[in-house]
Amino acid sequence: MESIPSYIFVDAPPYKEDCKKFVDIATLIASTGLNAPKIFASDFKLGFLMISDLGDTVYLDRINLGDNEEIDKLYGDALTALLRLQQIKCDLPHFGQNKLLEEMHLFVDWFLEQELQISNYEESGFEEVLELMLVNAAEQPQSFVHRDFHCRNLMVATENNPGIIDFQDAVIGPVTYDLVSLLKDCYHSFTFDQVAGWVEMYRERLISIGCLDKNVSREKFLRWFELMGFQRHLKCVGIFSRLHLRDSKAQYLKDIPLVIGYMMELQERYHELRKFCGWIEQKIIPELNSHRFVRP
């Protein structure tokens, strides 16, 4: 007996959400053969959509089971999907310096000033970090960027894995942005050797399809990747604080120590980060011992 198809009905008020952008990008992704929700009906004026249901099992659910063989398979699929995403040619907004700065200032505006009540950070080295992050992003090839390509936005699918969701904020931006979203995830961590192995494999695949100059060395690409992660993790800490303070979602505070841990580990490899990381060590790490940041 054939299974009955499952659908999702979306009610997204136009003044809050842009359904047309979601539909346009879903269509774009699906045109590459990747698994994005299919659009069966839409009314942009009312903000209604009828889309296919990609299931309810996200990558994180399977990762938490700890089956290393399955994890390797899932991440192999995700990296292959990302490679295809990054070959999409389209006219999306460019992820420029202003947007990068806006993201990084979330760390100051929401985490330092509001969550921790820290207003004196002029000597922290934050401004120097901003400049470093902008240079790092500008050096990289620019391609399609999902912006939230991680284990809570990838659905486990029996066919054409993974299902890809939450792509409505896609832009054109640095080639390592989605890669670091996936491999230095805010909700689960892998060992350095695992991550470095995946990064090198991905670099080689980018070169093989002509999306990366063959002269970009392993060390250069890893630097792009890790510094891109620092930029993204500044943003994520700010967003998690905003989710707590503005949206009453305190559970996201428990993810902050992992994210700051990612940032701190880079000071050993990149001397440009040592001043700021030293300031974090002194001013912020003690605050993370508060019960609100500790996982049960």
DSSP E strands in 28-153: the ranges are 39-43, 48-52, 142-145
DSSP assignment string, 112-124: IIIIS-----TTT
As a whole-number percent, the residues of the chain with pLDDT over 70 amount to 98
Give the integer Cα–Cα distance in Å for 146 and 12. 20
pLDDT at 240 over 70: yes
User: Does position 41 have pLDDT exceeding 70, yes or no?
Assistant: yes
Q: Which two tokens stand for residue 251?
A: 């559970």
Beta carbons within 10 angstroms of residue 226's beta carbon: 22
Instruction: Find the mean pLDDT for residues 142-165.
Output: 96
Which domains are assigned to the chain? 1-53 (3.30.200.20), 56-293 (3.90.1200.10)
The pLDDT tens digits of the residues spanning 206-238 come to 999 999 999 999 999 999 999 999 999 999 999
Mean pLDDT, rounded, of the chain: 95
What DSSP state is assigned to residue 155? Answer: E
> Does the pLDDT at position 165 exceed 80?
yes
DSSP 42-64: EETTTTEEEEE---S-BHHHHHT
Contact 29, 167 (CB under 8 A): yes
Taking residues 38-52, report their average pLDDT.
Answer: 93
Q: For residue range 251-282, what is the model confidence (pLDDT) as tens digits?
A: 999 999 999 999 999 999 999 999 999 999 99
Indicate the DSSP class of residue 170.
-
Q: Please tell me the predicted confidence (pLDDT) of residue 295.
A: 79
Q: What is the DSSP letter of 29?
A: H
CB 149 within 8 A of CB 232: no
Residue 88: phi and psi, rounded to 5, are -65, 130
- For the segment 286-296, the average pLDDT, to the nearest whole number, is 85
pLDDT average, residue stretch 179-206: 97
Confidence of residue 179 (pLDDT cuts 50, 70, 90): very high
5 pLDDT higher than 80? no
DSSP state of 171: E
pLDDT-derived band at 294, boundaries 50, 70, 90: confident
**Residue 66: both structure tokens together:** 């700890």
pLDDT at position 1, please? Answer: 47
